[in-house]
């Protein structure tokens, strides 16, 4: 929360100036993410749309909207002894929609090449389509349970760097790296019971285009 408060304070200082004299761009980036919590997540990918407003050629803000698909790590486990049987099968994906603000810094490297540094916050709406099937058998009989694993919305901090190569006519090629980290602890639940926390911390590789207006 201290990190979130620091980023929010920086945004509060940057936004008025950037909007007062805006030079605008739209950046469209594809993202391939490597989740840190590999016990929960196998892979993730998505797209990020960012409207950029520059106070001058070096300082700006970004308004971001993204769509991501996170594939859950499939797990099939079975246990059996003289008292009974327990089996569980988990799989599926979660769809994420991160929205938020960033501070942007752009040190120029040459007439055609620049570097855009980013730091910001994202609120992430989560729609889970991860299902768990559980089978139990003991001396009292057998039972089968199936339900979606619900996941809380999340709050993330983001940092990144994009190398921009100007192609002409207001269009630039973007290539970069990013890192997002949890500022909240999203919980998972199954059949209404809390089953622990997950994480959307991840490293990303990004590529796309920006269009100047």
User: For residue 208, is it within any domain?
Assistant: yes
- Determine the pLDDT at residue 20: 54
* DSSP string over 42-59: EEEEEEEEEEEEESSSSE
Q: Tell me how far apart the alpha carbons of residues 94 and 35 are, in angstroms, rounded to a whole number.
A: 13
User: For residue 64, is it within any domain?
Assistant: yes
- Determine the pLDDT at residue 6: 55
User: For residue 88, is it within any domain?
Assistant: no
- Determine the pLDDT at residue 194: 86
- Determine the pLDDT at residue 7: 54
Domains: count for the chain: 1
User: For residue 179, is it within any domain?
Assistant: yes
Q: In which domain, by residue range, is 55 found?
A: 2-72+95-128+153-188+201-212
Lookup: tokens for 125:
């709406």
213 residues of the chain, pLDDT tens digit each: 555 555 555 555 555 555 555 678 999 999 999 999 998 899 999 999 999 988 777 888 899 999 999 999 887 777 777 777 777 788 899 999 999 999 999 887 788 899 999 999 999 999 999 998 888 887 777 788 788 989 999 999 999 999 999 998 889 999 999 999 999 989 999 888 888 899 999 999 999 999 987
CATH number at residue 173: 2.40.160.20
Q: Do 67 and 99 touch, CB atoms closer than 8 A? A: no
The three-class DSSP label of residue 7 is helix
Half-sphere exposure of 172 (CA within 13 A, CB side): 22
């Amino acid at each position: 929360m201290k990190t979130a408060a620091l980023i929010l304070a920086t945004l509060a200082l940057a936004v008025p100036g950037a909007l007062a004299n805006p030079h605008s761009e739209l950046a469209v980036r594809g993202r391939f993410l490597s989740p840190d919590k590999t016990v929960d997540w196998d892979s993730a990918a998505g797209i990020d749309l960012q409207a950029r407003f520059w106070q001058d050629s070096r300082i700006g803000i970004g308004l971001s909207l993204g769509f991501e698909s996170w594939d859950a790590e499939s797990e099939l486990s079975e246990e059996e002894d003289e008292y009974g049987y327990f089996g569980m099968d988990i799989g599926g994906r979660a769809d994420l929609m991160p929205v938020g603000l960033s501070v942007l810094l752009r040190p120029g490297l040459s007439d055609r090449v620049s570097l855009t540094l980013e730091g910001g916050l994202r609120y992430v709406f989560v729609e889970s389509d991860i299902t768990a099937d559980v089978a139990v058998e003991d001396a009292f009989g057998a039972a089968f349970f199936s339900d979606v694993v619900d996941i809380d919305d999340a709050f993330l901090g983001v940092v990144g760097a994009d190398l921009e190569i100007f192609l002409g006519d207001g269009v630039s090629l973007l290539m970069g790296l990013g890192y997002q980290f949890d500022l909240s602890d999203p919980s998972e639940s199954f059949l209404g019971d809390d089953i622990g926390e997950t994480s959307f911390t991840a490293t990303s590789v990004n590529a796309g285009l920006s269009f100047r207006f």
